[in-house]
Amino acid sequence: MGWLKDLTYGGIGFLVGGPAGAAAGVAYSKGEDVVEQQKKQVEATGRAQEQARQQYAAESKKAEVQNIRSVRQQIRQARVAQSSMLNVGAQTGGMGGSGLAGGISSIGSQLGSNLDYMSQIAKQNTAIGAFALGYSNEMANASIAASRQQLAGAQMGMATSIFGGLGGYDKIMKAYG
């Protein structure tokens, strides 16, 4: 369908400015196509930014669920180990002894250490995800800026083509020179 638009704009340009006007009309038609494609590129980049935000949110939620699951597993294992130790202590007559108390405390201490480590990893994963999202957003912003620059260039090219096709500087110089 682009050829029909080129023919229409070229025909109108021919009526207004002769062969040079026809060339300007076709150039304008092509310029419109470039402008339309640039607009689509800007829109697509915006959609990609939104997708990156959604992906970050989903990955953060997934990491949170996995972290909670791991914490519960650590707590469950510690309780099983403490219960087992208490059972052995009860069967061997060691209830109230310092060895049993030390063993149970050691399990609690190891649990605390493991939970702290998991918390640190979760914080780092969150920070990494945030930096990745920031990078993605800035790359999208750069792409949008480049697209807008190309759009402005295409519009400038259209204006230059029309100006030149209709006589340009020579016509101005004859009229005002």
> pLDDT of 21-41, one tens digit each?
666 666 666 667 677 777 777
Mean pLDDT across the chain: 78
Per run of 10 residues, the mean pLDDT along the chain (length 177 residues) is 64 62 65 73 80 83 85 88 85 81 87 87 85 82 79 74 70 68
Amino acid at 56: Y
Dmax over Cα atoms in the chain, in whole Å?
Answer: 117
- Distance (Å, rounded) from C-alpha 71 to C-alpha 81? 15
What confidence score (pLDDT) does residue 136 get? Answer: 81
Task: Quickly count: other Cβ atoms within 10 Å of residue 149's Cβ.
Answer: 11
Domain spans in the chain, listed from the N-terminal domain onward: 2-176
What confidence score (pLDDT) does residue 42 get? Answer: 77
What confidence score (pLDDT) does residue 111 get? Answer: 86
Q: Output the pTM of the full model.
A: 0.53
The alpha carbon torsion through 99, 102, 106, 109 (nearest 10 deg) reads 170
Q: What is the pLDDT of residues 124-151, one digit of tens each?
A: 888 888 888 888 878 887 887 887 777 7
- Distance (Å, rounded) from C-alpha 164 to C-alpha 80? 86
